[in-house]
Amino acid sequence: MENWEALEESCLHCDRCHLCGTRHNVVFGVGNRESKLLFVGEGPGEQEDLQGIPFVGPAGKLLDDMLSIIDLDRDHCYIANIVKCRPPRNRDPQPQEQDACIGYLENQIALLQPKILVCLGRIAAQRLIDPNFRITYDHGTWVQRRGMLCTALYHPSALLRDPGKRPETFDDLLSLREKLRELNI
Ligand code: SF4
């Protein structure tokens, strides 16, 4: 396992998949590298690509609001994505792109050793929890994976497109707060 600095350095210069050809910035991840709470989305969007930071712009603002509901902020968790470079036109990251990039996230997980993993959206949930994960039905449920307690929330972008999903997400956030208290995080 690499240390954080070596891992970030190699990621910032990565050309393992063709997404390196269209990116402005690699979006490695942000937050507290000592935290036991990890959020994972699918990949950078336009603003994230321009700024090199995950979850900025309107979806990032909503994620910050979601965190504040349960008395958290970015200093209390770590936030990363399945792929570190923006897929063109915000399409879903393709399986071969995910396969090329997942090693960085696996190393981030090995360094963090999170107790709780929260997937943001279907792509992350299908990659990290269950290939058949149905975000509409399975969000907010909890499973153990590789020593982590895992769940998934709707992606903030989905909540922006469909505010009708927000009450369910509010309940999921309260469930997350309970788990954080149970595990003393
Ligand atoms: S998406 Fe991941 S694997 Fe592809 S170039 Fe970017 S950092 Fe490398």
How far apart, in whole angstroms, are the C-alpha atoms of residue 120 and residue 155? Answer: 5
Best mutation site among 9, 92, 101 for ligand 1, i.e. most ligand atoms within 8 A of its Cβ? 101
How far apart, in whole angstroms, are the C-alpha atoms of residue 51 and residue 70? Answer: 26
Q: For residue 79, what are the β-bridge partners?
A: 30, 39
| CA-to-CA dists, residue 107 to 92, 139, 157, angstroms | 22, 25, 26
Please work out whether the CB of residue 27 comes within 6 Å of at least one atom of ligand 1: no
119: region left, alpha or beta (phi > 0 left; psi from -120 to 50 alpha): beta
Which pLDDT score, from 0 to 100, does residue 1 have?
A: 61
Which residue's C-alpha comes closest to atom 3 of ligand 1? Answer: 101
Best mutation site among 9, 11, 13, 14 for ligand 1, i.e. most ligand atoms within 8 A of its Cβ? 14
Please work out whether the CB of residue 86 comes within 6 Å of at least one atom of ligand 1: no
Q: How far is the CA of 121 from the centre of ligand 1 (A)?
A: 20
Average pLDDT of span 140-147:
96
pTM of the model: 0.97
* 166-182 and 57-69 helices, crossing angle to 10°: 50
Best mutation site among 17, 27, 40, 107 for ligand 1, i.e. most ligand atoms within 8 A of its Cβ? 17
> What confidence tier does 83 reach under pLDDT thresholds 50, 70, 90?
very high
Give the number of the atom of ligand 1 that is nearest the alpha carbon of residue 83.
1
Q: How far is the CA of 79 from the centre of ligand 1 (A)?
A: 17
Which pLDDT score, from 0 to 100, does residue 29 have?
A: 98
Q: What percent of the chain has pLDDT over 90?
A: 98
